[in-house]
Amino acid sequence: MGAYFASLNFASLPARMPSAVAQGILWGLMALGVYITFRLLDVADLSVDGSFATGGAVTVMLIIAGWPAWAALLAALLVGVLAGLCTGLLHTKLGIPAILAGILTQFALYSVNLRIMGMKANQTASLKTYGMFWENGGKGFLISSRYVPQAIGIGFLLAAALIALLYWYFGTEQGSALRATGSNPAMSRAQGINIDRMKVIGLALSNGVVALSGGLMTQFQGTADVSMGRGAIVIGLASIVIGEVFCEAIFKKGCNFSVKLLFVVLGGVLYYMVMTLILWLRLDPNDLKLFTALIVALFLAVPYLQKQSISSFSRAKKRGKKEATEQ
């Protein structure tokens, strides 16, 4: 054990964290998309694994074709919206359960992504050749892993802008109807809300945000891969759960909607910091998915165990008062 700890390079751990924060922010943006379906619509949408890769594929190919990177990102967002529409229509118009509709869309997007990338499993957009984010010719370096501090700053600005837009949208009449649909579909239908339309809109918006995140991740890495979205739903759920646990721990009286969205992004950052720590400990990288499952299970169990603890203490307190009264 002593030899194991002696072999660890403690000086390298702080140096790895900024890159983990930068990636965590981008995955946190993806988690915002997952949050829309998982928490607001109460729908298990598995198509995000495919739409994340679709966003990356569209972005890299348009940048190679000479498009400005910002325009490629907008195109990725729109294609993600179309992918979400497919899932929504399969679910609402054909009566396919939401989880199966998501699987079908994800399955189909694998072939679509291959077509987009010219039947190649991966494509690379050299940073020096194409540039990134809003400039071309190697000037737009702010999403490059070589400039991690700038990437963190731009990532937080993008996250803040997206959170502000989502906060505004879900405060509108349509956004409120969408939230009501997820909270109580029967009552929403009784109030005259077209819940099928709300589900389609929610799925389209969710996958659009996920595809945008995939495009940003492609710019950060300089490459897109047909399997880059594999496990994205698990990372998104992990970010949501971790963020909610920390939010409730800090704000005892409850978090408002905007703060919850912020903590979803912070959950992505915390998740990637934990993953970086695991890799620094020289654990087998093949076990990363196992550790991810354990982390998600742990944070999912925390709220339940807290409620059980509180209820058990309250029962014991009532029992003690009853016994004291009888005596």
Spatial contact of 34 and 240, defined as CB atoms under 8 Å apart: yes
pLDDT of residue 138: 43
Distance (Å, whole) CA 321 – CA 327: 10
Which amino acid belongs to residue 151? A
pLDDT value at position 144?
A: 45
CA torsion sign for 301, 302, 307, 312 is positive
Tell me what pLDDT residue 315 has. Answer: 61
Q: Which amino acid is at 5?
A: F
Name the pairing type of β-strands 122-124 and 223-225.
Answer: antiparallel
CA distance 243 to 297: 14
| pLDDT at residue 140, rounded to an integer | 42
d(CA 131, CA 169): 32
Contact 115, 49 (CB under 8 A): no
Per-residue pLDDT of the chain (327 residues; tens, 9 = 90+): 666 666 677 777 888 888 889 889 999 999 999 999 999 999 889 999 999 999 999 999 998 888 888 889 999 999 999 999 999 999 999 999 999 999 999 999 999 999 999 989 888 876 556 555 544 444 443 444 456 777 788 889 999 999 999 999 999 999 999 999 999 999 999 999 999 999 999 999 999 999 999 999 988 888 899 989 888 898 898 899 899 888 988 887 778 899 999 999 999 999 989 888 888 888 777 887 788 788 878 877 877 787 777 766 556 655 666 555 665
Please report how the helices 12-35 and 257-280 are oriented relative to each other, as an axis angle in degrees rounded to 10: 140
pLDDT in tens, 212-238: 999 999 888 888 999 898 888 988 988
